[in-house]
Structure 1
Amino acid sequence: MSNTDKKIEIFNNLFLKIKKQIIDNQSSSKLKFDEREVLLNSFIVSIKTLLIKEMFLKEEKVEIEKKINLNYFFIELDNIFREIFTDGSFRKADLEIIREKSIQQLILQYLESKDSIIIDLAGKDLFSQIYETALNKNEKDQLGLFYTPEIIVNYILNLVNYKTDSEIVNKKILDPSCGSGSFLVKSVNRLLQALKKENLEESEILYKIRNAVFGIDIDPIAVFLSKTNILFQIFPLFITLYKKRTLTQFPPLHVYCFDSLNKKSRNKDTTSFKIINREKEFTSGFDFIVGNPPYIESKKMDIETKKKCIENFPEICKGAFDIYICFIQLGLDLLSVNGKLGFIIPNKFLSANYSKALRKKIIYEFDILHLVDLSSSNIFKNASVYPIIISIKKRKSKSEGIKNNFLISKVEGQITNIEEIKGIPINQSFFKKTVNNFIFSFPNDLDEAELVKRLIMTSPFKLGEFLKISWSVSFHRKGLREQFVFTKNVDGNFRKILGGKKFGGNSEVKRYLIQWDGHWIDYNREKAKRLNNPFPPLSLFNNEKIIICQNSKRIRAVLDKEGFICKDIFFVAKITPKTLNTSLNYEVILSVINSKLMSYLYDRIFSSTHVSGRYLHYLPTYLHSLPFPKLSEIEKKQLHELTKKIMKKEITEKDFIKIDKEIDKIIYNAFGLENHEIEIVEKYVSSYMSLKKLKDIRK
């Protein structure tokens, strides 16, 4: 931890102590209090305390005595920074709070502390971590908040080329969901450095910063903190102007409390409304748009938010969408010609069904500059989010055609070396050919990247041409399962079901083996229909079929000849009419699906489906799009015989491993892999797959 960080930590501790003292004082007097008001009061007192120290100690080394009336300094600061502290959203409640002797004592201790005098806050976001940790879980969920590490903020600004040179002077930058101002702080600091090189007067620098950096957030406390964060960046300018007696008025900062996604707001005269609708002085758009937009899944959205998104972004808000795609669309809409956008977003964007319309728009109408896969990093320690960074440039014309090459890189483990990873170049037109315009990251190793690219581009078939994979039985409401699933075949007409046990997991389906746990289902379609929970046709489960696990570290599939019913943790796959006209059969297709190469390809292409513990989320659309080799008649016969052997329940561990390797060898050969390419696949798969026990090998 740097010396500055230690000093900031001291200040943060002051905030927490003040917050506790306010709560204790109000609780002891048996008064009800609003927790957000307490939070706000604590911020105001803490911030003003630090400003006093910066303003009156940094230059004149004034000794603080306990007789000093602290309110005098607060009033003085209010006169100078009236727009920050009295902009209508916040009361000067701290003038009352400060009379509490216990709080006054805390402040005096802080002001007298030698360690905390003069904090260099250039480029520092003082409040983001406090803001995130101070909000309760419900508020975080509602706002979709995730703290953005400083290294990521700097990296995104670098990606869009917002650097400390003349290129950013007279350019506008916007964060449409600015939070406490992480991106705004760094932007102001970089612009300040660039403007100082222009040899301008302090007042002109102040004016240019004010008219270049814009932020919007729906939370008033976040807006307050963003403004205050910016204030710390330009504080030296104020001290200079104040001493020169040329500071007559504080220019209002362009950080607004507004709903960025409500383009149809009634407040049409506000600056924020003009920003999001590109009206008047904002018709040309923004040169840079950056940020970490909120992530809120459809199922967690309140009705009003969902309705607002659909009304304002009808082209993309379909199905179970996430709110971050609205911010991407808004950002693209607000970009000027040649403007650049840089966001950190969930990796689901690359392959989710709800984002396919937006992916297509980006691929066909914009230039992707860089895609950085952070899904295997530890960036969000306490969040179930697997992030990516994407930077995009607006073309001069939508009809230019896709000529763009961009860089794809992958970061694993620590993110400290993120700037050093160069990435793999890929032509954007490549993703025109993927199903639903899937976008995916490539390995950083050039040989491995070329292998994945070649297998996708040159494979003659897709798995979906030979196998139709379908969803199975779902119970959409609590308590429905108990009305259909039992541990006994009560009337003799029930069917065996896989996945019937409540919270039983998917261990009944191994690779090449079924281990039924004894659950039965009353497959009464009429009853299910009456309960608004329709079952698929029984024909889906009759006769031969392949069963595939929905969540697993590698593809786990088995051939079923008994007619098991399957719950939706398993998919049911049947051969297509096209397959009937070939010499392919279930055993051959199963051997291809269960091979290491197919698991490798799914992991590499659809890494955005990763869930916790490196498990992959397998889905029909993605599985259908996997490459499928052209097999010779000899290879088909060999695979058929080997599959029959490996499916035997009594097979030994030694024999299973031997046959599994023989199958993999045939598949490698069918796809045309060289020895060094086989080594790549084997090394990758073995890195997260145990081969010690038969039960693990089957997983």
Structure 2
Amino acid sequence: MNLQCIADKMSIFFNQYNYLTHTRGNTLFLLKCIFLKYLVNNHHIDFIQYEKELKKNFTFDCFIDLWQGKAIEKIFWEEEDQDLEPLGNLIWEWICDFVTAAPSFEGENPRIIGDLYEESMMLNHKKNHGVFYTPENLADYMASKALGKCEVDEKYKKIRIFDPACGSGSLLNAVYDRMFEIYGENMCDEEKEILHRLLLEKILVGVDRDSVACLVTRLILVLKGNTYVRPLGIQCGDILTEELIIEKSVDIIIGNPPYVGHKEIDSAYMKKLKNRYPLVYQDKGDLSYCFINRGWELLKQDGILIHITSRYFLEAYYGKPLRNFIKSAFEIEEIVDFNGIRIIPGVGIDPAIIKLIKNEKTEKNCEISIKRFLIKNHKSDTYSHLINSLDERNKLEEKPFESYFVSQNSLSDDLWRLYSPITKAIIEKIEKKTPFTLDNIVHSFQGIITGNDKAFIFDNNDENLNNFEESHLKPWIKNKDVRTFTIAEPQKKILYTNEIDAIESDSVVLKHLGKYREKLEKRRECQNGKLPWYFLQWGRDPSHFERKKIIYPYKATKNRFAIDDKKSYFSADVYGLILKPRLYHKVTEELLVVLLNSRLYNYYFKSFAKKLGDKLYEYYPNTLLKLRIPDLDEESTRLFNRFYDKIIKINLLENELNRLEILNTVDQWLYQYFELTETEIEEIEKEG
């Protein structure tokens, strides 16, 4: 089915007609058109016979009445007054064309209604509310994992399956299909109708805050059968704050909860959630964390929870409370880590699937099945293939993911290291011979936030620089300027005003910043009186910038550490490291930079770093400073210092081959020091 063709027709409606001016009304009108088209195309309604009646009473309930040949007992959808305005001839002509013209919905899975809803009517809403719906084959996979290898018996009649943020019903639709695949294959038509009624009235339960999304879910489920059955389990509300479902009453939870960070959540609602879910939702946690806590409350003992969610909780600093909760409240059966492959179209979130079993026992010594996708240059047109590869029925010769087991007891609350056996062996060898963490050796600090770059940042060739005192101007670098071992020559300067006691004493700075004063005064720290209006928003400690330091970018595809001894200042997308005095005599900046830029430490850091997309990593200090560092003797330290000097000289001469030769020597020294095997070395070098 070409969804785009139908979406284009609906777009023409929006562009040509002003039938309903409010967005919700437009959405409901088009949903009626889609619902009617499905009924007509699948021969449930004779469009020609009932055309006059349909034009006169263009409502969901009218369509269902005509389908059933009688009035339904309870109202399906309460129409608002503005939705009942008479249809003009031009609008009706468009409806007739839309309903009767190709492409036809005959024989299509009713989920097409949800697909169209998402394709053409939900773009802005999805982005604004962190709502992204589940692709068909991903929903099918999750349904198969949720239901597992169910035996064909009578137990299914008492089961309850719940989607806590059901959206347009893709997951419940997949569960419905899976249930029929398991139980309906050998049923007669009458038994299938009984199963259909059972699913809609008792088994399938869904909640969503969006009433229109709930309507779409109801429409999809209604159309799964040949006769109308009211889907009693779908209701509008907030499962996180409302008591809509009885606790410990659900057997299976299958969900794709919204991914919403703390910056996008209303402060009052956030406070309510922090009070309601203190075990998992703290500081800068994600809204999706609350859904796992809530799921545990609703599940029966030994109940199953399967979510597709952001993989960030595996490593994120603010995911620590959630990791602790999952470990103590559940047995973790499976984690599918897409490893930065953003398989949901148009979504800037790195997904993972997690399957949990509610288990209140203290000891959780189970083995977790890990499926971790290999890092390659996957293109979006191959994502469907990647998802399909998870289906155990597909006997692929070469799968695009690693498959192995990890003990639940081995998972730390600090972060979950889902190591393959060979990676585990490498990391154990490194950490066996590294008594320090980087945190023991250095202080970390973030770069400056100006609060208004236009007011404080200048190009080097800007004539205005001549007007300022030299002491107020500092060399300024950004993320892109930090390379492996070297730093690009700064092309900008920052006007560092945090050392000016009284702005009135410097008329030049006052005149310049006066042009931006209104905007500068609106910065939060100025409004609450913590900063004078002319200060940088977060100027940090200038002594950190004025000394020798290691700097590195906050986000990068590989380790990029360099020594700065030119008193450069830098933006917040760059971090700095300063040696702690008590260890300064033994560890040097040169040693650390050579070590951190090595292939081995690039591999080591990426083994537990937070991923951002296919190749990008987050170098957040809370994670980076967990790297363990060897206690090298003085001779080895001098050797690394010489390595550094040679690399820097070669960088200046731009002799890349000689530079690579020295870097290879460093790598070989480290491989030997940590007693790595040839197989382990191949694994490290394969990752680049």
* TM-score > 0.5 by shorter chain: yes
Query: Structure 2, unaligned stretches of length 5 or more?
Result: 393-400, 502-529
Range with greater deviation from structure 2 (660-669 or 195-204)? 195-204
Q: What is the SS of the residue equivalent to 1:126?
A: helix
| 1:579 is aligned to 2:588 | no
> Equivalent of 1:535, from 539, 544, 547?
539
Q: Which amino acid aligns with 1:602?
A: F
Checking the alignment, whether the CA contact within 8 Å between 1:297 and 1:320 is kept in structure 2 is yes
Q: How many residues align?
A: 624
Identity, % of aligned positions: 20
Q: Which moves more between the two structures, 668-677 or 486-495?
A: 486-495
Is 1:377 the counterpart of 2:367? The answer is: no
Offset at residue 141 of structure 1 (A): 2.5
Aligned 1:14-33 pairs, distance under 5 A: 17=9, 20-21=12-13, 24-26=16-18, 33=21
2:15 matches 1:43: no
2:495 paired with 1:516: no
2:287 corresponds to which residue?
323
Render the CA deviation track for 1:95-136: whole Å, top value 9, x for unaligned.
843x636535653674476x7373142xx5222332223335
Q: Is the 8 A contact 2:33 2:99 kept in 1?
A: no
Match of 1:425 in 2: 405
How far is the alpha carbon of 1:387 from its aligned partner? 1.2
1:86 corresponds to which of 55, 76, 79:
76
Q: Does 1:191 align with 2:165?
A: no
Which whole-Å CA distance do the structure 2 matches of 1:422 and 1:509 have between them? 32
Question: What is the identity, as a one-letter code, of the residue corresponding to 2:443?
Answer: K
Question: By how many angstroms is 1:196 displaced?
Answer: 3.2
1:129 is matched with: 115
The 3 A distance-change label for structure 1 pair 622 and 103 is same
1:341 equivalent to 2:318? Answer no
**1:438-466 deviations in whole A, cap 9, x for unaligned?**
124445xx534543465457744322222
Q: Does the alignment pair 1:402 with 2:364?
A: yes
Distance 1:283 1:635, change over 3 A: same
Tell me, in whole angstroms, the C-alpha distance in 2 between the residues paired with 1:302 and 1:175.
Answer: 24
Instruction: Give the secondary structure class of the aligned counterpart of 1:363.
Output: helix
Task: Letter of the 1:76 partner, please give it.
Answer: L
Specify the SS of the correspondent of 1:659: helix
- In the alignment, is residue 658 of structure 1 matched against residue 628 of structure 2? no
Tell me which residue corresponds to 1:672.
675
Residue correspondence of structure 1 range 365-514 to structure 2 within 5 A: 365-397=329-361, 399=362, 401-412=363-374, 413=378, 414=383, 415=386, 416-419=388-391, 421=401, 423-432=403-412, 436-442=413-419, 446-448=421-423, 450-452=425-427, 454-455=429-430, 459-476=434-451, 481-482=456-457, 487=465, 490-494=468-472, 496-499=474-477, 505-513=479-487
SS in 2 for 1:425: strand
- Where do 1:175-190 residues align within 5 Å? 175-190=163-178
Q: Deviations over 1:226-249 (max 9, x none)?
A: 00111122x13x28xxxxxxxxxx
Residue in structure 2 matching 1:588, options 585, 588, 591: 591
Match of 2:144 among 128, 149, 158: 158
Number of the residue aligned with 1:256: 235
Separation in 1, partners of 2:674, 2:127: 46
Question: CA distance change for structure 1 residues 483 and 328 in 2, over 3 Å: closer, same or farther?
Answer: farther
- After TM superposition, the score normalised by the length of structure 1 is 0.80
Q: Secondary structure at the match of 1:274?
A: coil
- 2:459–2:493: 8 Å Cα contact kept in structure 1? no
Q: TM-score, normalised by structure 2?
A: 0.81
Aligned equivalents of 1:431, 1:179: Cα separation in 2 = 33
Amino acid at match of 1:522: Y
Offset of residue 68 of structure 1 = 6.8
Deviations along 1:624-678, one digit per CA (max 9) or x if unpaired, are 1123234344432211211122223634323322222212222222222222222
TM-fit CA distance, 1:156: 1.7
C-alpha contact 2:335 2:354 (8 A) present in aligned 1: yes
- Give the Cα–Cα distance (whole angstroms) in 2 for the partners of residues 81 and 632 of structure 1: 88
Q: Secondary structure at the match of 1:640?
A: helix
Correspondence for 1:267 = none
SS in structure 2 at match of 1:407: strand
Aligned equivalent of 1:552: 556
Deviation of residue 21 (structure 1)?
3.8
Among 186, 203, 207, the alignment partner of 1:212 is 203
Letter in 2 for 1:208: L
Distance 2:233 2:129 in 1: 21
What code does the residue aligned with 2:587 have? L
Task: After TM superposition, give the deviation of residue 430 of structure 1 in Å.
Answer: 1.8
The amino acid that maps onto 1:228 is L
| Residues 9 and 98 in structure 2, CA contact (< 8 A), matched pair in contact too | no
In 2, Cα distance between the equivalents of 1:381 and 1:251? 32
Question: Which of the residues 217, 241, 244 maps onto 1:274?
Answer: 244
Alpha-carbon spacing, 1:125–1:644, altered in 2? closer, same or farther (3 Å)? same
- Tell me: CA distance 1:558–1:521, structure 2 relative to 1, closer, same or farther (3 Å): farther
Instruction: Flag the 1:19–1:585 CA change in 2: closer, same or farther, 3 A.
Output: closer
- 1:86 Cα shift? 3.2
8 Å CA contact 2:444, 2:575 repeated in 1: yes
Unaligned runs of 5+ in 1: 240-249, 264-272, 276-281, 686-699
- Residue number in structure 1 paired with 2:617: 616
User: Structure 2 CA distance, aligned partners of 1:163 and 1:85?
Assistant: 38
